[in-house]
Structure 1
Amino acid sequence: MTLDALRFDAATILESLRPWVACESPTWDTAAVGRMMDLAGRDLALLGASVERIPGRMGFGDCLRARIPHPRAGTPGILLLGHMDTVHPVGTLGTLAWRHDGGRCYGPGLFDMKGGNMLMLAALRALQDAAVPTALPVTILFTSDEEVGSPSTRDLIEAEAARHRYVLVPEPARADGGVVVARYAIARYRIATHGRPSHAGAQLAAGASAIREMARQILAIEGMSGDSPTYSVGIVRGGAWSNCVAMLCEAEVLTMARTAADLAQADAAMAGLRAVGEGCRVTVTPGPVRPLWERGNPGGERLYAAARDLAAGLGFAITAQASGGGSDGNFTGALGIPTLDGLGVRGDGAHTLEEHIVIDSLPERARLLAGLLATLD
């Protein structure tokens, strides 16, 4: 049987996806993430998988691990790795409603990465319907905190990946449909500026504003950005009363580094921040780090070649690319486990109110995943 004979219908995949997108699941809302895991767990059970709920920790939601029955169960196989949390708060559907517009479909989390996660299930279902066995046992792991750097799940991801021969990650495809074979390092930092409080109306000069100090720090931090490393301040919180000179302001910084030397440079630069204003001080706390995943692992190269050849047989090309956007593939690739990322849907607008997928990419990408599942050994 050829892969072209497997049945994939974009409308059917979208019908399965719509309840997932309607179940908004921002990272920090553990109840919302739990509802999403309930939906995914039921769909996995319908595939015949044995589904295990793994309790969350550090204030994050639960994860799901599902194993597809296989004669070689317990031997190293294929790990399908995805996250079910999104950056969109509950209520985003009011602005970014599920809708079709030409060949596109819009919705929060649809592109990053519920669409890719559903492709995994669609590929497995099509293989089952055609009575085509996977060559290796298949495990699915859905995690709950990828969008904030996977601080509570990194150990789970690495431990599960170490039991497998391959890791497939259906994060969004590249703009040209290519896949990801390397990812740059991503590091996060929490910064706090500390000032001296005073009454803003009666004794303004007696105070030292933590907010003003943070404003100086933000300009300095973002001013250090180059091609690599880059620096971006994404969250700022400070002050409690307009008539009080703020004594505390906090911010979160994300850096991207293409090389280990660039990552060390970023770390030194952040550790070296010093207050500018009199009466102020700055503290920096390192956060989660996604390690550098470099290309060159022989097993990874063979995995990409297998995917490239399958795609060519299906009538399209997939290029191999490095990406500045982090994913849980950073962890598995950095461990040396053959990993192929960016296997998900084509689209654009991740993390924005224009997030969408290209509908025609659903059967194409699902068929590629099915081919990998059927042939990897």
Structure 2
Amino acid sequence: MPSDPLKLPFDVDEMLCGLRPWIETESPTFDAAAVNRMMDLVQHDLATLGARVERIPGRRGLGDSVRATMPHPRAGEGGILLLGHMDTVHPIGTLSTLPFRREGDICYGPGLMDMKGGNYVYLDALRKILQAGIETPLPVTVLFTPDEEIGTPSTRDLIEAEAKRHKYILVPEPACPDGSAVIGRYAIARFNLTARGTPSHASWALSEGRSAIAEMARKVAEIEGFTTDDCSFSVGVIHGGQWVNCVSSTCDAEVLSMAKTQDLLEEGVQRMLDLNGGDDAVRLEVRRGVTRPLWQEGQPGTMAMLDVARGIASEIGFDLPACSAGGGSDGNFTGALGLATLDSIGVRGKGLHTLTEHIEVASLEERAKLAAALFCRLGR
């Protein structure tokens, strides 16, 4: 077997065959049983690599996490942490409209791009390294979590505690549209809103009621109007009313804000909290939810990792740009701690979080070679 990680025998068809059961095991965040079925698969695949695997029970009604210590003479010591999530935004049944399928150079499937594809590729790199008898300079730990898509409310402390033990953090989230890795991320805050109105019969006594739905609709326009190029506001979820013949007494919504600086985020948070209030007939309540801290671009450890990754990419034959990006990931947490973190080094594709989610098949081998060389060169 080759000793050069760039010459390991990666097989795209083999990877797609291994990925298929991962994609066909749907794992939406809020379905803990479904996420745990996915974790069963992951636990099995890690065990077949000879890893020491731990199942960490979920909290807050969410799924379990899986932590694996890969075989190594210094197994268990801090070294490289492979960090990813196994939950997706796609509800059970999405496979009926977005089945796992390959069409030429493209492969489709729910969660394939974000981020089961990247997770699988990096595990396949570890598989090939072990099969070749290559000893990585540093021991490797793998941590897969169940709740990234909702802001990581139940596993942030686990991620941060584990990451602090390691020198390098690899996060195989999907590559940016231009193929970039991510070396910084914007700050993100979530909010839960409730409008409370005055109920009445929608026909006999319409004028006696005050609609919570109407109040929320007015606030939606106001909130999204706060958006600037540097701080955005988006209302992504809204639920209200129960009977069409009743003036609604409650309406709930969820808001996401993303800012390029922590100061801008805090200003945005205050604008949202200032919306609290109303009168006896209709009121709005705003509660701050989970937050992802700013990960500042340019940290020395991360930039040194990027230099290594760019050198590897050049040997493979592709460019590896890098940027600070919107869209949160668990890299926000490790990067904000000042830990050397390289994010969005997973597969290339388009349509994440949509019914056209797909990857470029060629990126499987490309990113597997990148992964293998990173495991073998970091800490050398």
Q: Give the shorter-chain TM-score range.
A: over 0.9
Residue 58 (str. 1) matches residue 65 (str. 2): no
Alignment deviations for residues 138-183 of structure 1 (CA, whole Å, 9 cap, x no partner): 0100000000000000000000001111100000011222211001
Asked if structure 2 preserves the Cα contact closer than 8 Å seen for 1:346 and 1:358, the reply is: yes
CA–CA separation in structure 2 for the residues paired with 1:122 and 1:239: 49
Structure 1 residue 30: Cα displacement: 0.5
**Per-residue deviation, 1:4:** 3.0
AA aligned to 1:31 is A
Deviations 1:288-346 (A, max 9, x none): 10100011211111111111111111111101111101000000000001000011000
- Structure 1 unaligned residues grouped into runs of 5+: none
Could you tell me which residue of structure 1 aligns to residue 164 of structure 2? 162
Q: TM-score normalized by structure 2?
A: 0.97
The 2-side partners of 1:155 and 1:260 are apart by 20
Q: In the alignment, which residue of structure 2 is the partner of 1:69?
A: 71
Would you say 1:308 and 2:310 are equivalent positions?
yes
Question: What is the aligned partner in structure 1 of residue 180 from structure 2?
Answer: 178
Question: What does residue 214 of structure 1 align with?
Answer: 216
SS in 1 for 2:200: coil
Shift of 1:275: 5.4
The separation in 2 between residues aligned to 1:215 and 1:277, in whole angstroms, is 17
Q: Aligned equivalents of 2:280 and 2:231: distance in 1?
A: 30
CA distance in 1, matches of 2:333, 2:312: 26
Give the letter for the 1:350 counterpart: L
How many angstroms does 1:228 deviate by?
1.8
Q: 1:38 aligns with which of 27, 37, 40?
A: 40
State the Cα deviation string for residues 51-99 of structure 1 (Å, max 9, x = none): 1000000111011000002112232200000000000000000000111
What is the identity, as a one-letter code, of the residue corresponding to 1:232?
A: S
Letter in 2 for 1:343: I
Q: Give the CA deviation at 1:187.
A: 0.7
Matches of 1:76 and 1:18 in 2, distance apart? 32
Q: What is the count of residue pairs matched by the alignment?
A: 377
Matched residue, 1:5: 7
Measured in 1, the distance between the counterparts of 2:324 and 2:228 equals 18
Per the alignment, residue 363 of structure 1 pairs with: 365
Distance between the aligned counterparts of 1:19 and 1:89, measured in 2?
17
Mapped to 2, the partners of 1:49 and 1:120 lie a distance apart of 14
Q: Corresponding residue for 2:50?
A: 48
**Partner AA of 1:184 in structure 2:** Y
**Structure 2 equivalent of residue 352 of structure 1:** 354
The one-letter code of the counterpart of 1:187 is: A
Tell me how far apart the structure 1 counterparts of residues 220 and 176 of structure 2 sit (CA, whole Å): 31
Q: How much does 1:111 deviate?
A: 0.4
> Which of the numbers 116, 119, 124 marks the counterpart of 2:118?
116
Q: Which residue of 1 aligns with 2:139?
A: 137
Give the TM-score normalised by the residue count of structure 1.
Answer: 0.98
Question: Alignment partner of 1:300: what SS?
Answer: helix
- Identify the residue that residue 92 of structure 1 maps to in structure 2: 94
For residues 5 and 70 of structure 1, the distance between their equivalents in structure 2, rounded to whole angstroms, comes to: 21
Q: Which amino acid aligns with 2:354?
A: T
In structure 2, what residue type is equivalent to 1:376?
L
What are the residue-to-residue correspondences of 1:171-320 with 2, within 5 Å? 171-274=173-276, 279-320=281-322
Alpha-carbon deviation of 1:278?
Answer: 7.6
Q: Matched residue of 1:351: which SS?
A: coil
In structure 1, how many angstroms separate the alpha carbons of the residues matched to 2:165 and 2:224?
40
Task: Tell me which residue corresponds to 1:79.
Answer: 81
Distance in 1, matches of 2:279 and 2:345, equals: 49
SS in 2 for 1:86: coil
Shift of 1:244: 1.1
Distance across 2 between alignment mates of 1:203 and 1:61 = 46
Shift of 1:2: 2.7
**Secondary structure in 1 matching 2:90:** coil
Q: Distance in 2 between matches of 1:304 and 1:102?
A: 32
- The code of the aligned residue for 2:155 comes to T
Q: How big is the shift at 1:276?
A: 6.7
Deviation at 1:101, TM superposition (A): 1.7
Counterparts of 1:186 and 1:221, CA distance in 2: 15
What CA deviation, in whole Å up to 9, does each residue of 1:20-50 have, x standing for no partner? 0000000000110010000010000001101
SS of alignment partner, residue 305 of structure 2: helix
More displaced, 192-201 or 328-337?
192-201
**Whole-angstrom distance in 1 between the partners of 2:100 and 2:277:** 46
C-alpha contact 1:55 1:61 (8 A) present in aligned 2: yes
Deviation at 1:232, TM superposition (A): 0.4
Shift of residue 259 of structure 1?
0.5
1:25 aligned partner? 27
Percent of aligned pairs with the same residue? Answer: 56
